[in-house]
Chain A
Amino acid sequence: MSSQNPISIRPGIQEDMKYLIEWLQQPGVLQWFPLADLREIEDAARIWISNIKFNSVLTALWDGEPCGIATLYIQTFKKLAHQSLFAIIVDEKFRGKGVGKHLLTDLEQLAKEQFQIELLHLEVYEGNPAIHLYQRLGFLQYGYQRHFIKQNNQYLGKIMMQKAL
């Protein structure tokens, strides 16, 4: 990356929760999450951001302004501690600019070096364009759960992907 790159990454902080809630409410975003309304969004955002206690949340900045957040869901169970699920969101205004790739590259490094994670995995709903990014970054599908999401009597399957670090 050149020194002109406007993207920088810092550890997530509690105040980032408001961005998370704002981005989850942007048009079309909720179709890729299991959340249906503001109450569920706030609940999920609280759980998501609570991972700052493990220092496993990263926030991307575009010229100093938050534009994306990624989180490792650190496993508190001892026998699952070598692997982690993660979640990511990018503000719609900054999509297609490399923010997601930058965040995931740093998250992968954090997982490996800070938490000795051996297996990083994710869940994504079919049709989500982010699948291409995950594939480019080396994630491979290991499972598919049909009918995972039900909305307006329409179903969406869940694709499960992983990468050995």
Chain B
Amino acid sequence: MTLPENFDIRYSTNEDLPVLQKWFADPMEREPFPFETDSETEDVLKNWIGFARFKAGLTGILGEAPCAMGTLLLMPYRKVAHHGSFYLIVAPEHRRKGIGASMVRNLLHLAKTRFSLESISVEIYEPNPILRLLEKNRFELFARQENFVKINGRGRARILMEHFFQ
């Protein structure tokens, strides 16, 4: 898969919030995440963009227009500050172009170089097409919990995976 020529990545800013809100206005886009209702979504997206002040968020752009956003979620306590996790979304119209793969690689790079993290974990709900991308990036399964989440009343498993930098 070849990335679009005008694809680039910059740090996210607070001004990216409306774009994030627009992408998540579609309830289908909320399915891979723990939030579902409008108020839950609003709270999480504010928290998401809040990490921009630490330069922990990345925005993928095509020309000037955002096409993907991801953020590292940093841990608040010192004994666990050596690892983190992340959120990621690629705008629906820009999927299957390699943008998600590039965002994951850049989030990992940011975690390692800027924040000196030793590992990054991620939580996904089954089934999720990002699983293959995570496996390609050497994320390893460390927990699988059946019925963790109920989507449309049906129990689905959560899968926890972690990538170690060393």
Contact = CB atoms under 8 A, between A and B. Distances in A.
Interface residues of A, number: 30
B145 A78 contact: no
Given A76-B40, A148-B80, A149-B80, A142 B144 contact: yes
B142 A150 contact: no
B79 A36 contact: yes
A147 B79 contact: no
Interface in B78-103: 78-80, 82-83
A79 B79 contact: no
Contact of A77 (B40, B80, B83, B121): B40
Interface stretch (B5-13, B15-23, B31-39, B66-74): B31-39
Nearest to B160: A143
B80 A118 contact: no
Interface in A90-145: 118-119, 121, 142-145
Interface in A51-83: 76-80, 82-83
A79 B142 contact: no
B14 interface: no
| Chain A CB within 10 Å, residue with most, of B35, B37, B78, B83 | B78
A6 interface: no
A80 B36 CA distance: 10
Contacts of B35: 77
Contact of A78 (B36, B79, B121, B147): B36
B145 A82 contact: no
Given A80-B34, A142-B143, A34 B77 contact: yes
Contacts of B80: 34, 148-150
A57 B106 CA distance: 42
Interface of A: 34-37, 40, 43-44, 76-80, 82-83, 118-119, 121, 142-151, 160, 162, 164
Top 5 A-B residue pairs of the complex, sorted by shortest distance between their CB atoms: A143-B143, A36-B78, A77-B34, A34-B77, A34-B80
25 contacts: A35-B77, A36-B78, A36-B79, A40-B77, A78-B37, A78-B40, A79-B34, A80-B150, A82-B147, A82-B150, A118-B147, A119-B145, A119-B147, A143-B142, A143-B143, A143-B145, A145-B121, A145-B143, A147-B83, A147-B118, A149-B79, A150-B82, A150-B118, A160-B143, A160-B145
